[in-house]
A and B are shown apart, each in its own frame.
Chain A
Amino acid sequence: MVLKIFFPQCCNTADSGLLVGHWIPGHNSAVVLAVIHYPFIPGQVKKYLSELQSQTQVDLTVLGSWSMPKEGQEGMDSFLKDLSTIFPQKCWLQLSREIGKRGFICQVVQNNGKLLQDQEQKNGDESSEGDKIILIHYDQRKVMLSQLHPVQDVGQKSDIEPSELRLVFQTVAQSQPLFFLDKYDDGPLKLTHWQSEGREASIIAELLKQASVPVCIFLTWLLSLWHWFCMVLKMLFISSKLSTCVQSGYRTVHFKTVFSPKKAATHMEFMRKANIFVSFLLDIALGLLLISWLYRENRISKLADTLVPVADRVAKELQELLEWLMGAPAGLKMNRALDQVLGRFFLYHIHLWSSYIHLMSPFIERILWYVGLSACLGLTFALSVLSDIVALLTFHIYCFYVYGARLYCLKIYGLSSLWRLFRGKKWNVLRQRVDSCSYDLDQLFIGTLLFTILLFLLPTTALYYLVFTLLRLVVVLFQGVIHLSVDFINSFALFAIGQRICRPYRLAEGVKFKVLCQEPGTPLHLMMEINPLKCSSVLRCYRTPTYSCYPKDSWAALCKKLFVGELIYPWKQKTDKTD
């Protein structure tokens, strides 16, 4: 049987006294949390420990005694041995140090009086398991602040038995109230633990903590007003289409999380709050940078001046494209009459669009100036506004795409149905299959005529559909890139990465052991160091869930939709409900 004792490094040089800690249930190990020094009254020690037990929910007990030899304190050893009778234990640990030696000497007395020693059996019998003791040193402050991954909350009921390491971490983290009293305090008990090395405090941090609660309450009230306003806006259908509205709604939800007056209960909640707050600050900073760049040297008016000519250029290019389609594009033979009809129809649309743009041109600069100011709300806002502007400017392409797709879809549907008529079959809706059918003479006749007409007009419609679909896909791709970058800014866990780089011990993946001292006559001494989480795991674990733009259909489904002529909306946005 191997007995593991976790010993804090800060107590290596502590004066003699009692070891206070916790036996890990189910595993043969103990965690030493603090050392109580002389003089003490055993009754007070017991009272203090029971008080702490109710506060921390950790079963704190006196584990044993610790003796550090000093001048003027001879006879301490016998006194320490007698203490085992005062504090009844199953196992009583007796750790002691000698001057000049690195290792500790450890003796364990069990309840039945048997002595366990760390020495090997005298008779040299290899087969019997020698009772071994391993002393594992740990940095108490780091272990207290660290969080073991994958995260399992303390109050959570989980099927998996927490491992020994997890129990050790949990014990140290939960014993925080133990570390309030120190050996420098004027109290009945004098303890040594990590705080004895020096207490750190910061006035500013304390002031901020005090001030944050009323600020949070005020901001929550503001947010509720804003949320009510957004509800009203949501009635408008268009608000779900404009990405700016979506982004603002999303940020509102974020703020609600961050500014709620309730303190974060679990580690994950705290990390999420911190991540959202930090990424929001970064967003604002980038936005202000953008504003300072935009509004310098009158760039806004330059931008406005180039906007109308660009829109005109797009219209002219579209017109030329249509003229090309109305001729004989790429040598393809089109049906002249249908060609002319479709071409003229689309040309008229472009003409309407250009006149609309020209009507708006005097106001563009003013509008842009105010819209540019919205970048102070964050870079994500500026990008969303850009995406919306692009959508508005290419609205005519969207219209053409819808017309072309609908015409093509109708044609394909009609053709497939009439092809079945051609063969003398029909679609059985009840059985969802193709059945034979005896048609009437006039049905056959009209069906064949329509089939012929649709078949010969197919190349023309297909070409128009192809051209406009390609244009639409280009626009959609551009918008998709913008959305992806917005999404990235929203979901990047900056705070977690910062913690990982600056304070790597806070996010622990596991531990590694280093051998400190292996002398005969002393137990094995190991140093436990925290293994920080990998950066990729940090990113994956702490990613803020967003309305991530992901393609709604797989490639195969998308191609099929394109072929049949269904309208495609390639980027789907998850609503909050599915988060």
Chain B
Amino acid sequence: MGADSGPGAPAAVPWRKVLYERQPFPDNYVDRCFLEELRRNIRVRQYCYWAVVRETGLIAQQVSCVAVFLTLWSYMEQGDLVPSAVLWVCLGCALLGYGLYEILGGSCVRERTRLADLQSSTIFLAFTFGFSPVLKTLTESVSTDTVHAMSAVMLLAHLVSFPYAQPSPPGSLSLNAALFGSVCLASRLPGALHTFTMLSCAVLVFALWPCLLHRMREKAEWSFPWAAVLVCLAGVRGLGSLWPEGALLLLLALLTLTLVCPLLLVHLQRHKDNIHGPWDEAEIREDLSRFLN
């Protein structure tokens, strides 16, 4: 549609964009002010490269968490780690993490009482301990390849469906997939105590650690990159002790994820072409928080 096309001669009356009046213009008349209100890219954010790199750290550290977990499992399966020792370490870490959580969230109003927390942990411990003999025999008749494939799929699903934007209450599907995968792996271990230990580790790594990380990001912004880097290093190092090529691959993946992908994102921003106009949905601009109190 170009500008003024059509055989209509502009009359003395200016053209108005209304439909309820008869105007002396033909039906296919295109006015000069056509598409005046078109706006392009009015809400495009300009990303800063290093800020994006910082945010990507979350994804990288989640991948490394999975690597750490797999390392632990592999060691326990080979019999290099004694389950009771690992159990004590887990307990220590949990208490440490809980303390840190409390310190960092000092000024916040608590959602759950300490009693509720104690209750949850008791239920969890009792349940897992009670069911670990059953869990141990679950995959006895399933072949090893199937078990490994199932766990891999489940952990991948965990990574894909993890709520990176709001990780504090862990999303249902991601947590469940991670726990399912860890149960599959844990049932391959030689003893019931091994199974119990593995599950405790899984809960620690997949359920409790994201909450602590989120709290750290909120309260002590400077600590987050250090924590992410620490986890990534632990993952690479752990994998390296088992399978050096794998460690190399993981390192490459992490570097790509953290350094190359943000570059791509920032680079491709200039191809953005969003158009906005009077046809968009109405957005409420004023501040409505005054209605909340």
Contacts and interface: CB of A to CB of B under 8 A. Distances in A.
A438 B166 CA distance: 13
B88 interface: no
A441 interface: yes
A333 B138 CA distance: 11
B50 to A, nearest CB: 34
Given A335-B137, A335-B140, A449-B128, A444 B175 contact: yes
Contact of B173 (A422, A440, A451): A422
B137 to A, nearest CB: 6
Interface residues on A, range: 20 to 34
B170 interface: yes
Nearest to B184: A452
Contact of A445 (B138, B179, B184): B179
A446 interface: yes
B72 to A, nearest CB: 19
B124 A456 contact: no
Interface in A425-469: 438-442, 444-449, 451-453, 456-457
Nearest to A339: B141
A446 B137 contact: no
B199 to A, nearest CB: 8
Contact of A423 (B138, B141, B172): B172
A421 interface: yes
A453 B141 CA distance: 14
Contact of B123 (A424, A439, A442, A453): A442
A452 B120 contact: no
Contacts of B172: 421-424, 438-439, 444
B176 interface: yes
B173 A424 contact: yes
B104 interface: no
Given A445-B203, A447-B176, A438 B123 contact: no
Nearest to A449: B131
A440 B116 CA distance: 11
Contact of A334 (B123, B131, B141): B141
A43 B175 CA distance: 110
A337 interface: yes
Interface residues on B, range: 20 to 34
Interface string B112-153: 000000001001100110010011011111100000000000
A179 to B, nearest CB: 90
B169 interface: yes
B250 interface: no
B5 to A, nearest CB: 52
B155 interface: no
Interface string B78-91: 00000000000000
Given A448-B179, A449-B179, A336 B169 contact: no
Nearest to B112: A440
Contacts of A442: 120, 123-124
A336 B137 contact: yes
Contacts of A449: 127-128, 131, 135, 179, 183
A424 B175 CA distance: 10
Contacts of B140: 335-336
B191 interface: no
Interface in A274-305: none
A456 B171 contact: no
A335 B139 CA distance: 8
Contacts of B179: 444-445, 448-449, 452
A451 B176 CA distance: 10
A106 B179 CA distance: 106
Contacts of B176: 421-424, 444, 447-448, 451
B180 interface: yes
A78 B70 CA distance: 129
B138 A453 contact: yes
A456 B186 CA distance: 14
Interface of A: 333-337, 421-424, 438-442, 444-449, 451-453, 456-457
Interface of B: 120, 123-124, 127-128, 131, 134-135, 137-142, 169-173, 175-176, 179-180, 183-184, 203, 207
Q: Which 5 A-B pairs have the closest CB atoms?
A: A424-B172, A333-B141, A448-B179, A456-B138, A442-B120
